[in-house]
Amino acid sequence: MKPINTIPIETFLERVRIANKTNQKNISFDIKDASALADTINIIMSRLIMKMSSETEPRPQAGILKINADGGDF
């Protein structure tokens, strides 16, 4: 699996941080930046869903081992 390009997320977070510091009411993106951010979020969400579903699916077992402990004759 190739690494995720997180630069669009970092750019967005930086813009929000600057907007907060300068008391801006709005931030804007051109369609190229907005698309890159959306693509990155989609990739992250897809991988997260794949990871979560692989962790919750029952794993096939090679065999079942049954152990009975009765304490013997004391």
**Which tens digit of pLDDT belongs to each residue from 27-72?**
999 999 999 999 999 999 999 998 888 777 666 666 676 767 776 6
Q: What's the structural domain count of the chain?
A: 1
pTM (two decimals): 0.67
Domain that holds residue 45: 1-12+29-56
Predicted pLDDT of residue 53: 82
18 part of a folded domain: no
Whether 68 is in a domain gets the answer: no
With residues binned 3-state (H G I as helix, E B as strand, rest as coil), the percentages for the chain, rounded to 5, are 55, 0, 45
Q: How far apart are CA 72 and CA 67, in angstroms?
A: 14
